[in-house]
């Protein structure tokens, strides 16, 4: 069927209108898709709306896309004028077909800056696009631009903040929490999770998720903890999704940095509590809260290694799980070293755990020995009087405290029982890493690691 | 970690006969689901046809793993899963399902049966339950038993075919696939790229 230019023009106008009408008719469209359909059926629209799914028959794409693409370029070159409504409709159609056409997103940026287009409409359009193109880099990039506009709208007093990127979610100094930002944050987490489910190891989706937390929820302990806990099931059912585990590593680093930062601050009245909602609520006084935070870092690592152990044992032969273990243990190892370096500087109220451990070993103990003897130190402290400190140490089961000896015995256990050749290789490689990299890392600056957050 | 389909088939002399199937297509794009289901049926039937009785195999096709067990009495089962789902659990599931099926459905009905005539309703709930592999009972016990069982591994569907046979031809001739699916297969084969727009 040979089309003349007029026929194509008519067809394209009709399709663009049909798409626009579909959105008007059903504001709850939540997915787009291409319907494999090699030939047009006479006089039937290629746009199909079923339940909340918007489909386009594949035969029309080869007419539609070049035509609409060209139209936008002509507008951009000032050879053809398009009014605002037409621009919105055309860019929408274009992006549903080819979301990496940056020019279309940029036209929408201009429309948003003129005040003609609500930026949150682009959040909706982007969400739809991602159902078909979950990796699309330009979609994620534009999304971040939109979120920056939203942030700007929510924080008119941004210039007064000490630190750029600080969150308003908790409400700065007693002002009511920002409901719009909360909603936007929740929606972003959902969009990232869906995109991550649609494409394995979707790096773009996960790095966007990290960006959102860094820019919309910086330093918010409650959100970091919530994310860590809600992601547990996800990573357990996507055990070779490297990006998912990388997200957990980011959460761990952020939590550790935040918890350590809070400890480093003076132990006076909490200037910093507004930055981080402590999950236990208002009943916790500042000093006790600071203590709980320090004690909870080992628990955090212990639980993460426990999760890793569980997955490694249940699903043998997944390299991602072993990589995750390395990251977590490395982080733990350097946190321990940093803690032991800081012991002298900290007021004793805030650092019970470390005092007990390093105190019992004596100043002459080398760093290496000290780290490896974490488990040993616990044994010694058990024999001393049953003080408040040792009670706190015993709060969790002893195996929650990670250390080199427990790592080695884990590897031995895996190697003795495993039937999968890959699992055996990964376990042996991990042991080699423990022996070479961890010991070598002793001589490197631990602070340099944490500055990479 | 997903299971996409669970099917019970009868391996006849020349071709296999689909008796019952369950599908979980929730992770596929809405408009592709009917084609995907047809392809899974086509694949399951082909695999059973080309597998010898008394064998267990795992066939890799793109990002999917198809696990098949054809019993000595020609009753066969196929699970189509993703690459993460532990294959041992799939074989546990197949053993269980085929055992139960053979006790509930008379073998007289197998050679001529179809999903419409066969009354066995447990497949959907098995598929749903086993989406979480930890549901498999006595997983470690099965690990020990299956060690002795040989599982034949195939890296592609092609390795199941006869010399000179082409998958494209089988697709075109298949009665399990509608015209739309066959057209879809043609274009998908041509492109084979994740960044294609059309």
**B132 vs A237: CB contact, 8 Å cut-off?**
yes
> Residues of B with CB below 8 A from A48's CB?
31
Mean pLDDT of the B70-92 span = 94
Q: Compare CB distances from A36 to B30, B84, B183 and report the shortest one's residue.
A: B183
- Residue A422 falls within a domain, yes or no? no
Phi, psi of B13 (to 5 degrees): -60, -50
Q: Are residues A83 and A149 in the same domain?
A: no
**Inside any domain, residue A264:** no
| Number of Cβ pairs < 8 A linking chain A and chain B | 58
What residues in chain B have their Cβ under 8 A from chain A's Cβ atoms? 1, 27, 29-32, 35, 63, 83-84, 86, 132-134, 143, 147, 180-181, 183-184, 187, 194, 197-198
Band (B162; pLDDT cuts 50, 70, 90) = confident
- ipTM (interface pTM): 0.87
Q: How far is CA A141 from CA A101, A152, A191, in A?
A: 12, 17, 14
Q: Which residues of A, range 365-424, sit inside 8 Å of B by Cβ?
A: 419
Q: Which of B98, B86, B78 is nearest to B136 (CA)?
A: B86
Tokens of A419: 């039937």
Summarize the confidence of residues A323-349 as an average pLDDT: 78
Which of A22, A29, A31, A36 is the best residue to mutate to test the B interface, defined by the most B CB atoms within 10 Å of its own CB? A36
Q: What residues of A are in contact with residue B181 (Cβ under 8 Å)?
A: 36
B63–A53 C-beta distance less than 8 A: no
B26/B133 Cα distance (integer angstroms): 18
Same-domain pairing of A26 and A77: yes
> B146 to chain A: nearest residue by CA?
A419
Q: Which of residues 256-275 of A touch B (CB under 8 A)?
A: none
Residues of B in contact with A58 (CB under 8 A): 187, 198
Q: Which of A228, A208, A424 is nearest to A236 (CA)?
A: A228
Is the residue at A435 inside a domain? no
Examine residue A70 and state whether it is found in any structural domain, yes or no.
Answer: yes
| Burial B149-178, CB ≥16 within 10 A → b, else e | eeeeebeebeebeeeeeebeeebeebebbe
The answer on A123 and A94 residing in a single domain is no
Please provide the size of chain A in residues.
Answer: 453
User: In total, how many domains does chain A have?
Assistant: 2
Phi, psi of B197 (to 5 degrees): -95, -40
Q: Which one of A33, A135, A315 has the shortest CB-CB distance to B30?
A: A33
Kindly give the pairing relationship between strand A53-57 and strand A47-50. antiparallel
Among candidates A37, A197, A240 on the partner chain, residue whose Cβ is nearest the Cβ of B180: A37
For A198-245, the pLDDT digits (tens) are: 999 999 999 999 999 999 998 899 999 999 999 999 999 999 999 999
Give per-residue pLDDT as tens, A253-297.
999 999 887 766 544 443 333 344 434 334 444 555 555 555 589
| Co-location of A62 and A26 in the same domain | yes
Residue B168's pLDDT band, with cuts at 50, 70 and 90, is confident
Shortest Cα distance from A439 to chain B (angstroms)? Answer: 33
The reply to whether A5 and A56 lie within a common domain is: yes
Q: Are residues A142 and A76 in the same domain?
A: no
pTM of the entire predicted model: 0.81
**Helices and strands (H, E) in chain B, number of each type:** 6, 6
The sheet that has A53-57: what strands, in order across it? A31-35, A53-57, A47-50
Q: Is residue A16 part of a domain?
A: yes
A91 shares its domain with A144: no
Measured between beta carbons, which residues in chain A are less than 8 angstroms from residue B182?
Answer: none
Q: Is residue A330 part of a domain?
A: no
Handedness of CA A54, A57, A60, A61 (dihedral sign): positive
Final residue of a structural domain among A218, A246, A270: A218
Q: Are residues A131 and A67 in the same domain?
A: no
pLDDT band at A131 (very low <50, low <70, confident <90, very high): very high
A124 in the same domain as A59:
no
Among residues B40, B42, B44, which one has the least CA distance to residue B27?
A: B40
Rounded distance between C-alpha atoms, residue A99 and residue A102, angstroms: 8
Judging contacts by C-beta atoms under 8 Å, the chain A residues touching residue B187 are 36, 38, 58
A123 and A92 in a common domain? no
Q: Which domain holds residue A13?
A: 1-98
Q: Which residue has the higher pLDDT, A40 or A343?
A: A40
Q: Is residue A307 part of a domain?
A: no
Joined together, the tokens standing for residue A291 give: 């203590």
Residue that has been written with the tokens 């041509």 in this structure: B190
Does residue A5 sit in the same domain as residue A94? yes
Q: Tell whether A85 and A130 lie within a shared domain.
A: no
Rounded mean pLDDT of A56-67?
90
Nearest one of A154, A16, A177, A194 to A95, comparing CA atoms: A16
Portion of chain B with pLDDT greater than 70, in percent: 87
**Residue spans of alpha helices (H) in B1-110:** 33-49, 87-104
From A218, A246, A273, give the residue that closes a domain: A218
Report all structural domains of chain B as residue ranges with CATH numbers, in order of start.
3-162 (3.30.450.50)
CB B25 within 8 A of CB B36: yes
pLDDT band for position B44 (50/70/90)? very high
Cβ–Cβ of B29/A33 closer than 8 Å? Answer: yes
Q: Is the pLDDT of residue B177 over 50?
A: yes
End-to-end CA distance of chain A: 59
**Within-domain flag for A342:** no
């Amino acid at each position: 069927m040979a089309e003349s230019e007029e026929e194509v023009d008519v067809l394209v106008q009709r399709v663009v209108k049909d798409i626009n009408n579909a959105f008007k008719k059903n504001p709850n469209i939540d997915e787009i898709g291409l319907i494999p359909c090699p030939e047009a059926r006479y006089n039937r629209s290629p746009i199909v709306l079923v339940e909340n799914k918007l489909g386009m028959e594949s035969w029309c794409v080869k007419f539609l896309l070049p035509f609409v693409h060209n139209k936008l370029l002509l507008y951009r070159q000032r050879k053809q004028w398009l009014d605002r409504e037409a621009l919105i409709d055309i860019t929408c159609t274009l992006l549903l077909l080819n979301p990496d056409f940056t020019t279309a997103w940029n036209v929408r940026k201009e429309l948003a800056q003129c005040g003609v287009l609500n930026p949150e409409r682009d959040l909706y359009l982007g969400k739809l696009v991602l159902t078909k193109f979950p990796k699309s880099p330009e979609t994620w990039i534009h999304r971040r631009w939109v979120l920056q506009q939203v942030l700007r709208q929510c924080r008119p007093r941004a210039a007064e903040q000490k630190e750029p990127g600080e969150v308003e979610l908790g409400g700065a100094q007693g002002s009511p929490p920002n409901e719009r930002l909360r909603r936007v944050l929740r929606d972003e987490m959902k969009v990232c999770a869906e995109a991550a489910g649609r494409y394995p190891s979707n790096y773009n989706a996960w790095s966007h998720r990290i960006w959102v937390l860094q820019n919309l929820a910086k330093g918010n302990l409650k959100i970091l903890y919530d994310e860590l806990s809600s992601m547990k099931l996800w990573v357990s059912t996507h055990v070779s999704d490297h990006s998912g585990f990388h997200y957990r590593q980011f959460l761990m680093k952020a939590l550790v940095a935040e918890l350590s930062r809070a400890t480093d601050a003076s132990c006076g009245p909490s200037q910093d509590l507004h930055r981080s909602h402590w999950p236990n609520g208002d009943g916790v006084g500042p000093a006790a809260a600071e203590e709980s935070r320090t004690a909870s870092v080992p628990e955090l690592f212990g639980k993460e290694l426990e999760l890793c152990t569980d997955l490694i044992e249940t699903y043998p032969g997944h390299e991602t799980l072993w990589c995750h273990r390395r990251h977590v243990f490395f982080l733990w190892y350097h946190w321990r070293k940093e803690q032991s370096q800081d012991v002298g500087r900290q007021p004793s109220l805030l650092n019970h755990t470390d005092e007990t451990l390093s105190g019992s070993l004596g100043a002459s103990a080398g760093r290496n020995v000290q780290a490896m003897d974490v488990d040993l130190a616990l044994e010694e402290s058990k024999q001393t009087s049953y003080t408040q400190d040792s009670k706190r140490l015993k709060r969790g089961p002893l195996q929650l405290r990670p250390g080199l000896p427990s790592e080695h015995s884990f590897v031995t256990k895996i190697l003795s029982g495993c039937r999968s050749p890959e699992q055996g290789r990964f376990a042996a490689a991990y042991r080699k890493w423990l022996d070479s990299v961890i010991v070598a890392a002793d001589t490197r600056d631990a602070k340099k690691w944490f500055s990479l957050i | 970690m997903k299971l996409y389909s669970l099917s019970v088939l009868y391996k006849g002399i020349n071709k296999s006969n689909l008796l019952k199937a369950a599908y979980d297509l929730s992770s596929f794009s809405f408009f592709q689901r009917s084609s995907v289901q047809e392809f899974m049926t086509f694949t399951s039937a082909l695999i059973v046809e080309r597998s010898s009785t008394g064998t267990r195999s795992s066939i890799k096709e793109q990002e999917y793993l198809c696990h098949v067990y054809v019993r000595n009495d020609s009753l066969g089962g196929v699970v189509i899963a993703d690459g993460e789902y532990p294959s041992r659990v799939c074989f546990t599931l197949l053993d269980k399902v085929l055992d139960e099926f053979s006790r509930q459905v008379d073998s007289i009905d197998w050679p001529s049966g179809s999903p419409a005539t066969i009354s066995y309703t447990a497949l959907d709930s098995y598929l749903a339950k086993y989406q979480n592999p930890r549901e498999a009972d006595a997983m470690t016990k099965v690990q020990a038993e299956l060690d002795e069982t040989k599982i034949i591994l195939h890296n592609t569907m092609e390795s199941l075919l006869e010399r000179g046979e082409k998958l494209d031809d089988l697709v075109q001739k298949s009665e399990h696939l509608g015209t739309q699916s066959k057209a879809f297969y043609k274009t998908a084969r041509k492109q084979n790229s994740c960044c294609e727009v059309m």
